[in-house]
Amino acid sequence: MRAPVIEVENLTYIYRPYGIVALEDVSLEIKEGEFVAIIGRNGSGKTTLLKNIVGLLKPTQGRVLVEGVDISRSTVAELATRVGLVLQNPDQQLFSQTVEEEIAFGPRNLGLPESEVESRVEEAIALLGLERFRHEFPLALSIGDRARVVIASVLAMRPHIILLDEPTMGQDYRGHREIMSIAERLHRDGYTVVIATHHVDLVAEYAQRVIVLCEGRVLLDDTPAAVFSQPEVLRRTHMAPPQITRLAQALPPSLELPRDVLTVEELGEAVLELLHN
Amino acid sequence: MVAKEFQETPQIVIRDVSYRYPDAEDYALEGLNLTIHKGEFVAILGEHLAGKSTFCQLLNGIIPNFKGGELEGSVLVCGLDTQDVSVAELARKVGIVLQDPEAQLFTTKVINEVAFGPENLGLEREEILRRVRWALKVVGLEGMEDRPPPSLSGGQKQRLAIAAALAMRPEVLVLDEATSQLDPVGTEEVFSVVRRLNREYEVTIIMSTHKSEEVARFADRILVIHQGRLIAQGTPQEIFRDTELLRRAAIRPPQVSELANYLEAHSLRMLEFPITIEQAKRGIEQLFAGV
């Protein structure tokens, strides 16, 4: 049994001064090495949950443990070496003159020797394919590249857990797929990855587990196949299964095609197999 | 789907248009020739930075009147040459809704937001109120007149931005990635309102988006912009089955169309190329029935 690396216990978060209850008594555990997607309508609490896990927001009630430590007892620097967050708008996270400086900022503030800072910067640049931008002004890059600079800066802190609040501004489908495939690569490399997104087709393709939030509570928490087999529950938080799953669910059972497909290829292969036999 | 009958009234006529932003070396748009008729619902697809937003801003005169740069050729909207008339005058003809509603909303109450445009036209108070009531009704925000815009949901904010544009009684409504920050229900809300405007009030719709499922359901015609050029146009069926084009312009078709393309690559062709779940369901049933 893998160890839980994120434990959220009875977390309630209320935004002052308006008194908006963004999260209400949320409890969940995320284990080491999991690849988790969080979905739910705008305002369902996805971003608030991620911000509470990195300590950007402090729980109104309840607590959050990261790698067994109550984060209200860790320093910001300590926590940043355990868990990193990529915000929805990468521009809120960029402030340096060059990509290199941006990535070096975190490790340098940990007081690491310069040689170690450099090697971390090099590693992060290579991992995100940012070589040709290293001397560029981060805010002058395309939105997709800006997001990758933020991910590189987060990785340079060598956290074990990466939280991604998926950028929506100015991203095309290729951009979304690229973020998702970076997330998958990090997952393969052993990171625990949590991504908040609206792209259910990519969730179906990549994630191992889906947490569905609705009005600040956990509505569903299961495998993509199990979650997307409940369209009527998903509708309560303005979500729907991927179109290909909805098609499979709409087909007459007499065709004997699988109803829990998650990708186009799955359904395509099943059709071919049945018709060619 | 039955094709809509268009009045043969050209409403937007773009002739030999190329455009460069100030100080830019490359053209943002190049060699554009295009006619859009009154009452059409046109979707613009293409990857990020392909030129979709530039195209949208061409239609309400923001380009070149505000942004400057170099515009060659001519853009006629409702008979007006955008280079000869002011942006304010064009605002009576063309409404625009942007990606981020918060970039567009600036008042403290829903009603003020919608009244702002007509007030600036110097209309009578009664006429302003009539337009505000009408616009809020069309977008389904009646009863929310006193709500502060920040308290609305994402879909409601975009519908408010649409209402503000509608109060100017435009003949053309341009939506530039207006649903990209919205969840599926917010997206559906916006598309439904836009379709209603199109069908009931004959407002011409021009919408840049990445949401191909909705495009398939609502648009009459798709324009594909790639690296500043209009590289293809056609019905959703025509565009979504052109796998070479889709790859080149990095467009993802609806998953049901992807399925048909996948099966076709394996020599299995559906009777009718599907772009909606209903069509795909029928197509698969026909395949299994040996039709």
Q: How far is B212 from chain A (nearest CA, A)?
A: 10
Q: Which domains are assigned to chain B?
A: 1-93+175-186+199-241 (3.40.50.300), 101-169 (no CATH), 254-291 (no CATH)
Torsion of CA A32, A37, A43, A48, to 10 degrees: 20
In the predicted structure, residue A247 carries a pLDDT above the cut 60: yes
Instruction: Report chain A residues whose CB lies below 8 A from the CB of B285.
Output: 251-252, 255
Between chains, do B255 and A172 touch, taking CB under 8 Å as contact? Answer: no
Output B149 or A27, whichever has higher pLDDT. A27
The pLDDT value recorded for residue A238 is: 87
**Tokens matching residue B112:** 């003020």
Interface of B with A in 173-192 (CB under 8 A): 177, 180-186
Minimal Cβ distance to A246: which of B185, B258, B277: B277
Q: How many beta-carbon pairs below 8 A join chains A and B?
A: 102
Give the other-Cβ count within 10 Å of B269's Cβ: 11
Give the whole-angstrom CA distance, residue B234 versus residue B240: 9
Nearby residues of A192 by Cβ (< 8 Å), 6 or more positions away: A5, A6, A30, A31, A32, A33, A34, A160, A161, A162
A259 touches chain B (CB under 8 A): no
Res. B4 pLDDT band, cuts 50 70 90: low
| DSSP conformational letter for B6 | P
Residue of A nearest to B277 (CA): A247
Instruction: Report chain A residues whose CB lies below 8 A from the CB of B277.
Output: 243, 246-247, 250
Minimal Cβ distance to A268: which of B180, B262, B285: B262
Residue of A nearest to B261 (CA): A268
A83 touches chain B (CB under 8 A): no
In the predicted structure, residue B6 carries a pLDDT above the cut 80: no
Closest CA to B104 of B96, B94, B93, B112: B96
Cβ(A93)–Cβ(A153) under 8 Å? yes
The pLDDT value recorded for residue B5 is: 61
Closest CA to A165 of A109, A93, A101, A221: A93
Torsion of CA B241, B243, B244, B250, to 10 degrees: 110
Residue of A nearest to B263 (CA): A268
Res. A170 pLDDT band, cuts 50 70 90: low
Which of the four CATH numbers 3.30.70.20, 3.40.50.300, 3.40.50.1000, 3.40.50.970 does domain A4-230 have? 3.40.50.300
Mean pLDDT of the B23-28 span: 92
* Residues B106-159: tens digit of each pLDDT: 899 999 999 999 999 899 999 999 999 999 998 889 899 999 888 887 778 888
* Residues A59-74: tens digit of each pLDDT: 999 999 999 999 999 9
Between chains, do A173 and B285 touch, taking CB under 8 Å as contact? Answer: no
Output B85 or B99, whichever has higher pLDDT. B85
* Residues B234-286: tens digit of each pLDDT: 999 999 999 999 999 999 999 999 999 999 999 999 999 999 999 999 999 99
Q: How far is B6 from chain A (nearest CA, A)?
A: 31
Residue of A nearest to B270 (CA): A271
In the predicted structure, residue A77 carries a pLDDT above the cut 90: no
Between chains, do B48 and A238 touch, taking CB under 8 Å as contact? Answer: no
In the predicted structure, residue A20 carries a pLDDT above the cut 90: no
Q: How far is B281 from chain A (nearest CA, A)?
A: 6
Res. B1 pLDDT band, cuts 50 70 90: very low
Q: How far is B40 from chain A (nearest CA, A)?
A: 25
A252 touches chain B (CB under 8 A): yes
Interface of B with A in 79-98 (CB under 8 A): none
A272 touches chain B (CB under 8 A): yes
Amino acid, single-letter form, for residue A116:
E
Q: How far is B209 from chain A (nearest CA, A)?
A: 9
In the predicted structure, residue A157 carries a pLDDT above the cut 80: yes
Between chains, do B277 and A251 touch, taking CB under 8 Å as contact? Answer: no
Strands of the sheet containing A35-39, edge to edge, are A83-86, A161-165, A192-196, A35-39, A209-214, A217-222
A142 touches chain B (CB under 8 A): yes
Give the whole-angstrom CA distance, residue A5 versus residue A25: 19
The alpha carbon of residue B148 and the mean position of all alpha carbons in its chain are separated, in whole angstroms, by 26
Residue of B nearest to A144 (CA): B48
Name the segment(s) of chain A with CATH classification 3.40.50.300. Answer: 4-230
* Residues B194-245: tens digit of each pLDDT: 999 999 999 999 999 999 999 999 999 999 999 999 999 999 999 999 999 9
Give the whole-angstrom CA distance, residue A150 versus residue A89: 10
Nearby residues of B277 by Cβ (< 8 Å), 6 or more positions away: A243, A246, A247, A250, B256
Output B104 or B163, whichever has higher pLDDT. B163
Interface of B with A in 138-157 (CB under 8 A): 153-155
Res. B30 pLDDT band, cuts 50 70 90: very high
Output A258 or B187, whichever has higher pLDDT. A258
Interface test with A, best of B255, B263, B282 (most A CBs within 10 A): B255
The pLDDT value recorded for residue B2 is: 45
Q: How far is A74 from chain B (nearest CA, A)?
A: 34
Output A249 or A15, whichever has higher pLDDT. A249
Between chains, do B259 and A201 touch, taking CB under 8 Å as contact? Answer: no
Between chains, do A169 and B284 touch, taking CB under 8 Å as contact? Answer: no
Between chains, do B185 and A238 touch, taking CB under 8 Å as contact? Answer: yes
Mean pLDDT of the B60-88 span: 92
Asked if the bond preceding B64 is cis, omega within 30° of 0, the reply is yes
